[in-house]
Structure 1
Amino acid sequence: MKMITAIIKPFKLDDVRDALGEIGVQGMTVTEVRGFGRQKGHTELYRGAEYVVDFLPKLKLEVAIADEQVEAVIEAIAESAASGRIGDGKIFVTDLERVLRIRTGEEGDQAL
């Protein structure tokens, strides 16, 4: 089992959710986060005062999946989250040692 973590632009969430739904992914966790990479933030003007926005709003998606779905999920996220501009995000893949569904006690792939 794998945990796919993706950092994407907020306006791409619906596209990513639809793409994952089409390949059979049934659930995900979405968290509002802030961060920067190569973008390094930007400057804005507010009431005549200029200030630097260091951390930009992003969304963090977490999807637990079976090993055989990894490539399809990565491809779906990468294609649907891409805008072709800097700051499109990143995808991380990590191993999951154990998954347990609290309600039923199911473990492993059955718990996903």
Structure 2
Amino acid sequence: MDLRCVVAIVRPELLKTLEGRLAIAHVHGLTVTRVKGFGVHPNPFSNDCTTEHIKIEVFVQSERVDALVQEIVDAARGTSGDDGIVAVLPVERFFRVRTASEAAP
């Protein structure tokens, strides 16, 4: 099975909307991490140029990547003004801790 890891860094207020859209799209596993950083445009209104974002990671079969990326981009564009990034990474191996065996998600 060919897997990918889709990583998105978006504004925190997008999380509830994105969770709902991904559930409708039958994505049933994601990891969310609070992160700080800045991209092309640091925050000029603060002594700390970083801003808070969330990082979402989803392991998905390669044939579902395009649909997942489109859901994330559509949700982010509608609520956060095109802020954020989405990256797609290859997954060489995937293990389930509970069974201690290599598996598909």
Q: Which amino acid aligns with 2:97?
A: I
4+ residue runs of structure 1 moved beyond 4 angstroms?
none
Which residue in 2 is equivalent to 1:7? 9
Q: Which structure 2 residues correspond to residues 1-112 of structure 1 after superposition, within 5 A?
A: 1-44=3-46, 52-82=47-77, 83=79, 85=81, 88-109=83-104, 112=105
Q: Which amino acid aligns with 1:28?
A: L
Q: Gapped runs of 5+ residues in structure 2?
A: none
What SS class does the counterpart of residue 20 from structure 1 fall into? helix
Q: How far apart in 1 are the matches of 2:99 and 2:65?
A: 25
- Equivalences, count: 102
Q: What is the TM-score with the length of structure 1 in the denominator?
A: 0.83
Q: Gapped runs of 5+ residues in structure 1?
A: 45-51
Q: How far apart in 1 are the matches of 2:74 and 2:9?
A: 14
Q: What is the TM-score with the length of structure 2 in the denominator?
A: 0.88
Q: CA RMSD in A?
A: 1.5
Larger CA Rg, structure 1 vs 2: 1
